[in-house]
Structure 1
Amino acid sequence: MKFSISLVLPLLRLAGLAWAGCQDNADGFAALNGGTTGGNGGTVVTVNNQADLEKYAKASGKYVIKVSGKINISPKGTEVDVANDKTIVGIGATAQISGGGFRIINRRNVIIRNLRIGNTDGGEELDWDGIQVDTSTNIWIDHCIFETIGDGGIDLRKDSDYWTVSNSWIKGVNKAFGIGWTDNVVTKGTIHHVYFDGTTQRNPSADNMLYAHMYNNYLRGCKSYGHYARGATNARIENVYFEDCKNPLTADSEATLTAIGNIYDGTSGTIAKDIGVSFDPANFYSYKLNATADVPSIVLANAGPKADVCT
């Protein structure tokens, strides 16, 4: 028996199945170590309030948690705990977590996508982050925007491993994106097509990473420093567009750095020279580089929440 697609699609929606990219899989280092699939294949729920978000985020088992509209978090600065095997994804381009963020501690296999996260200003001393990840593996952060953040936009700390941050926009945040807080050199991460927009420090600060792959990012107006290979980090930085940034590329003496194809447009201060020869990401996963001159337009068109990521 043949079915009309116009009849089948509404039935699938009524059945609660995820739709239009809600269950995409990660790329980069997050695609390794068994992959980062979040709640794919598990229960699909839609939430529009803090109580339901917290309930399903900490539940056991696989969940795809679709966020509808704006969720106001109270008390201000609360970071919602996220358990293993979860996808938290905004429906359309208007989903928002306001007044709080997410906390992923000693977890595995978590995806956070297509969300506006912030409005926690004033909380730097209280460690109010957009997304805080400690000692966790297989994390994918994609198509998010971080703005008006009290402390760190994204913190990936304490040996968190096999993660990717992609297609996201960090807007005017002081401590944009911190990595490390450990003497161990084990972390492997990919950062691509991320827009660092008028941020100050940690753009990112990649501390003691075994492998740091940064490509096709767009940094505009960074006020302190740009991409930083800190400590014993082994970094490959490719086709990144730096515009009006201070100290766009920095590396500690014990780091390994290979920088290829980057553009420095109106920058000032340090542009670190290569140190040794870095690892080759192509030995770990496939990826496609955009031409550096095209990066600003590509990133501006794609960074942050989009209507077609999860509908």
Structure 2
Amino acid sequence: MNPSPAPRRALAAAAATALVLAGLAAGTSAGAEPPSRPAHGWSDTADGFASLPGLGRGPTTGGAAGATVTVDTMEELARYATAAEPYVIRVADAIEITPKGTELKVASDKTIIGVGTGGEIVGGGFYLGTGVHNVIIRNLTIRDTLMPEDDPDDKQYDYDAIQLDTADHIWIDHNTLTRMNDGLLDSRKDTTFLTVSWNRFFDNNKTFGIGWTPNVTARITVHHNWFKNTVQRNPSADNIANLHMYNNYLQDVSAYGNYVRGATSAVIEHSYYEGTHNPYYTVAGELVQRGNITVDCTWDEGIVTEQGDAFDPRDFYDYRADPARAVPALLDEFSGPQPEIGT
């Protein structure tokens, strides 16, 4: 008799943790310790496309060149986030945003980071507009702008956790984004040199949208993110020159998972999909997929899961993928805000 799904997942997670902690090969490499085990603490250096120079600037360092401040109020947060000077802005506790749904504007050369697991942005989010660059948003919980009267489509109140409009060199890392009335993360209008890593995208309708542009210029890395109890845009990726997604975990996703469309060139690898409808697919563009695992998933008839040659991410940067079977356990332990970050 086969075990029920919950014990089966627990056994798989335990085996995956043992595999990684034993220092076995991650992806196709062997010998070195995988990046998902922070033996000496999490790096403060962005990886993926956010780590690269481009557009005459980069890599992404945030506010590292400036002073470090700790903020306790919305007013303090807004003052330092919009300043012309670089800042590392520490958020130690929950900050209530009013009026509800306000997206605080963020200027270039900023790091906004939660102190341990206590930093929260409640009732609002962040907006990075045209030309904003070199920003790190890290180790925060951003939550709760739902408007019940706007169900089920979330079209009346555009309350995002993070919205990026033609920004560049952005690192979104180790956050929990949840229960927002529109998107959890919208990367729009040619936003590029973006890395989204080790985040939790939980309990939302419109989760992570990419596009809103006819141009095919954006370069984006999406790795080690946990999408749970979401509906659409996980992500939906339109007209992306290079989209690299690896080691993501999609769990209980009802509409669709990784949707590659337009002229996007995408590589999806070593990810884990559980209880997800249409885990990964394309209707246009190019999609290479390898090493992925699907469990209790459903597919529409005739759906296209591979098309074209896309690109080789290693032509741009080095990376180390964990085995797909290790991903649920790794993200259960290491995604979202971490107690040692920002302290």
Above 0.5 in TM-score?
yes
2:137 to 90, 112, 116: 112
Q: Normalising by structure 1, what TM-score?
A: 0.91
Aligned-residue Cα RMSD (Å) equals 1.4
Gaps of 5+ in 2: 1-39
Give yes or no for contact 1:238–1:262 (8 Å, CA) kept in 2: yes
**Cα distance in structure 2, aligned partners of 1:272 and 1:217:** 20
1:265 to 295, 300, 310: 295
Secondary structure in 2 matching 1:199:
strand
1:93 to 108, 117, 126: 117
Deviation at 1:22, TM superposition (A): 9.5
Cα deviations by residue, 1:199-240 (Å, 9 ceiling, x for unpaired): 100000011100000000000000000001111100000001
1:222 maps to a residue whose letter is V
Deviation at 1:98, TM superposition (A): 0.1
Deviation at 1:36, TM superposition (A): 0.5
In structure 2, the residue matched to 1:66 is 90
Deviation at 1:193, TM superposition (A): 0.4
1:84 aligns with 2:108: yes
**Cα distance in structure 2, aligned partners of 1:212 and 1:115:** 25
1:133 aligns with 2:164: yes
1:121 to 131, 146, 149: 146
Deviation >2 Å, runs of 4+: 20-23, 270-273
**Percent of aligned pairs with the same amino acid:** 46
Deviation at 1:24, TM superposition (A): 1.2
Q: How many residues align?
A: 291
1:144 aligns with 2:178: no
1:174 aligns with 2:194: no
Secondary structure in 1 matching 2:276:
coil
Instruction: Name the stretch that deviates more: 273-282 or 45-54.
Output: 273-282
2:93 maps to a residue whose letter is G
Once the two structures are superposed, the pairs formed by residues 179-198 of structure 1 within 5 Å of their partners are 179-198=210-229
Shift in alpha-carbon separation, 1:50–1:57, aligned structure 2, 3 A: same
In structure 2, the residue matched to 1:255 is 285
1:78 maps to a residue whose letter is T
Give yes or no for contact 1:23–1:40 (8 Å, CA) kept in 2: no
Give yes or no for contact 2:281–2:306 (8 Å, CA) kept in 1: no
**Cα distance in structure 2, aligned partners of 1:291 and 1:248:** 18
1:32 aligns with 2:62: no
1:227 maps to a residue whose letter is N
